[in-house]
Amino acid sequence: MNKISEIPEQTPIAEKPTVEMPADPWRCGACGSLRVSCQVWVDSNTYEVQSMAEDKDDLWCDDCAEHTRQVRESELMSDTVEPWWNDGTTEEDREIITGLNPENFSPKDDRKAFRDACDMWWNGRTNDEKIRLWRQATAPEEE
- The least distance separating Zn ion from the CB of residue 135, rounded to whole angstroms, comes to 9
Q: Which positions from 58 through 77 interact with Zn ion, judged by CB under 5 A?
A: 61, 63-64
Q: Is residue 31 at the binding interface for Zn ion, with CB under 5 A as the rule?
A: yes
CA distance 116 to 95: 12
Strand 59-61 to strand 70-72: parallel, antiparallel, or no bridges (unpaired)?
Answer: unpaired
Nearer to Zn ion, 30 or 118 (CB): 30
CA contacts within 13 A on the Cβ side of 114: 22
The 10 Å CB-count burial string (b at 16+, else e) for 22-32 is eeeebbbbbbb
Helix (H) or strand (E) run with residue 52 in it? strand 49-52
Q: How far is the CB of 64 from Zn ion (least distance, A)?
A: 3
CA 74 distance to own-chain centroid = 10
Q: Which among 43, 122, 113 has a CA at the least distance from the CA of 83?
A: 122
Residue numbers 66-125 binding Zn ion by CB under 5 A: none
| Min CB(56)–Zn ion separation in Å | 12
If the CB atoms of residues 34 and 117 are measured against Zn ion, the closer one turns out to be 34
Which of the ranges 17-25, 57-65, 70-78, 121-129 carries the binding residues for Zn ion, by CB under 5 A?
A: 57-65
100 vs 138 by CB, closer to Zn ion = 138
Please report, as a single letter, which amino acid is at residue 38: C
Give how many residues touch Zn ion by CB under 5 A: 7
Task: Pick from 26, 33, 75, 95 the residue near Zn ion by CB under 5 A.
Answer: 33
Which residues here bind Zn ion, judged by CB under 5 A? 28, 30-31, 33, 61, 63-64
